[in-house]
Structure formats: C-alpha cells, structure tokens
Amino acid sequence: MNPLNGIPSTVPKGAPPVRHFLQFTDFTNEEIHYLLDRAAFIKHKFKTFVRHHSLVDRTLAMIFEKASTRTRVSFEAGMYQLGGSVVHLTTGDSQLGRAEPIEDSAKVISRMTDIVMIRTFEQTKLESFAAHSRVPVINGLTNEFHPCQILADIFTYIEHRGLIGGKTVVWVGDGNNMANTWLQAAAVLGFHLRVSTPRGYEVDEKVAVTPHGMGAGSYKTYSDPVEACKGADLITTDVWTSMGFEAENETRRKAFAAWCVNAEMMAAAKPDALFMHCLPAHRGEEVAADVIDGPQSVVWDEAENRMHVQKALMEYLLLGRQD
C-alpha cells in the first residue's frame, strides 16, 4: 500500500515465475508448435492489413552488443505492429559499455520495460541478465545459440514443405551458434540432423546439450559434406567466421574451402530440397551464388519470417496462450 494515496502496491506477489527464451530447449515441442501456429495467424493478419494490437502500451528493450540488420528490424517493426514501442541500446551508447554490472542493468531495464531482447557474446552474460530481470528475456544471438533464427527457419520449412518431424536437415560448415541451435531443435522436434564440419570446428556437445541431456544423440556427423547432403530435405549453412571470431578469418578460409554449399551438394539432396542461410551471406565462401540465388533457396522468406515468429514469441511470453 502506498501511504501517500492508498493505492495498492505494484510489486507483484505470488506471480508465476517469468519465462525466458534463452535457448531452443526452453520450450517444449507442444509450445513450439503453438508458437508456429500463432505466427502463421499473426502473419496472415499482417499480410491482409488486419490490425493485431495485442501488446499496446508494452515496451521492448533491445540490447545489441554485436551488429545486426535482421534482428533489429524484425524485433523493432514487429513490436510496433503489435501496438507496443521499442527502446534500442548498444554497448557504445549505454552504461553497459562503461562496465555497469549486467545484473544492475537487468534490474533497472526490467523495471521500465516489459520484455527484453539481447544480442551479446557469452550465453552466461544473457543468463545473468535473465536471472536478475523481472520481465521475459529473449536471446537475439549469443556465441552459443540463435534460437529466434531457428524458430523462423522451421516456420519457413513448414510453409514450403509441411511438418519437419522425420525430415532430414543437413548443416554444412561451422559448428557455431546456429549449428548448436539446430541440434537442440532436432531434439525438441524430432527431425534427423546431419552435421558436416571441418576437423577442429565440430559442434561442442558441452555447449549444445542441456544439463538434462537434451540434444545428446540428436545428430550424426559426416566428414564429407556431399555425403551428408545425400537424400536431404533441407541444406543449411552460415558464415565461416561468426561475429567475435574475426581474428581467425584467414585460418578459417583455408579450413572451410570444401564446405561451400554448391550445385553438387544440392544435386545430392532430394529434388525438392530447400536451401536456407540465416544471412548475412558471403557468396563464393559458404555458399555458391547459384545456390543462394537459385530456385531452391528460401532465404528471403526465412529473413522475413523472423518478424512473424518473434511477434508470436513476444506475445506468448507476455500474455501466454491466446487460443
């Protein structure tokens, strides 16, 4: 009770614990399917110019410690479309860049906004923020995971080819944040995952597999990327050098030379196989121009779908199920 005006306290008591989306395994198979269905509903309304203002007066804080085009635009446009507003922070223009502890930042930002998206380096930093946040926190990419991207990728697969359960997905390239998240998604959704990386750049199970063992054994490794692509339903890749690893660029260029998704790899897959890339892409490095710009590529749908799935995600974290 506020002694000045008798208005009841606004500090929530007995409220359910806040949900976050820090890695793909934070949601069950059933929750992921709800989100994908809801994203399709929200996308249809957007495409037919029907207003969908489920988050009026809510504010999203976006914190970027690494560069972004898609993540920034998709979250920002998406939140405005839901009737809410956005605050954009970067390391350089906030106290985060002047060593204010992440825990203190979380306590303050989460008192003034309703939901937070963070793109940063170590997953542990994101987890520290979430542990001290009063509001839901979304992983907008860390060194370890990129769960919003995989949500969009799976939504895109379903739009083009139907349910992904039982299908064969091939990861070609670096055992990075995207690969780790595919591995988790395979465990949650039950599709077959093949991973082909150069030696020394394998997926690190200590990172990708949860403490409960979720993700273990959800994939097979292949030393030959063409072999991995045989009979595949979806081939996907990413840059050879992720943000934060730029010092390794030249070494990686040599190590990854045979891990360029090209016409030979696409020809080894099923005739109706799709190609995906989270973007930004480097034509002539991890993917040949005739593949990313060819008829099997769905990279532009994939990029757009970030916005639709993230609208469903923000709505779910703030309001719960809407059906």
Query: Tokens at residue 104, please?
Result: 């203190």
- Catalytically annotated residue among 278, 296, 308, 310: 278
Judged by CB under 6 A, does residue 233 bind ligand NVA?
no
Q: Give the shortest CB-73-to-ligand CP separation in angstroms.
A: 8
Which residue number, 222 or 238, has a Cβ lying nearer to ligand CP?
238
DSSP secondary structure letters along 208-244? HS-TT-TTTTSEEE-S-HHHHHTT-SEEEE--SS-TT
- Phi and psi at 288, nearest 5°, equal -75, 145
Which of the ranges 23-31, 66-74, 191-199, 212-220 carries the binding residues for ligand CP, by CB under 6 A? 66-74
| Residue 119 annotated among the catalytic residues of the structure | yes
**Which of 82, 89, 178, 229 contacts ligand NVA by CB under 6 A?**
178
Q: Give the shortest CB-277-to-ligand CP separation in angstroms.
A: 9
Which residue number, 53 or 283, has a Cβ lying nearer to ligand CP?
283
Sheet with 137-139, edge to edge strand ranges: 85-90, 59-64, 115-119, 137-139
Which residue number, 152 or 265, has a Cβ lying nearer to ligand NVA?
152
| Residue 149 annotated among the catalytic residues of the structure | yes
At which residue do the structure tokens 């757009």 appear? 304
Helix (H, G, I), strand (E, B) or coil at 31: helix
- Distance (Å, whole) CA 286 – CA 264: 14
| Residue 322 annotated among the catalytic residues of the structure | no
| Residue 204 annotated among the catalytic residues of the structure | no
Q: Check if the beta carbon of residue 142 is closer than 8 Å to that of residue 123.
A: yes
Longest dimension (CA), the chain: 74
Q: Check if the beta carbon of residue 90 is closer than 8 Å to that of residue 64.
A: yes
**Which of 38, 43, 70, 194 contacts ligand CP by CB under 6 A?**
70
At which residue do the structure tokens 């998240």 appear? 181
Q: Check if the beta carbon of residue 225 is closer than 8 Å to that of residue 259.
A: yes
| Residue 161 annotated among the catalytic residues of the structure | no
Sketch the per residue contact string, 238 through 257, with ligand NVA: x for CB under 6 A, - otherwise: xx--xx--------------
The total of other beta-carbon atoms located within 10 Å of residue 136's CB is: 21
**Which of 18, 158, 255, 279 contacts ligand CP by CB under 6 A?**
279
Judged by CB under 6 A, does residue 68 bind ligand CP?
yes
Judged by CB under 6 A, does residue 278 bind ligand NVA?
yes
Helix ranges (DSSP H) in 61-176: 70-81, 102-112, 123-131, 147-161
| Residue 278 annotated among the catalytic residues of the structure | yes
Which residue number, 75 or 222, has a Cβ lying nearer to ligand CP?
75
Q: Give the shortest CB-189-to-ligand NVA separation in angstroms.
A: 21
Binding site for ligand CP (CB under 6 A): 68-71, 141, 149, 278-279
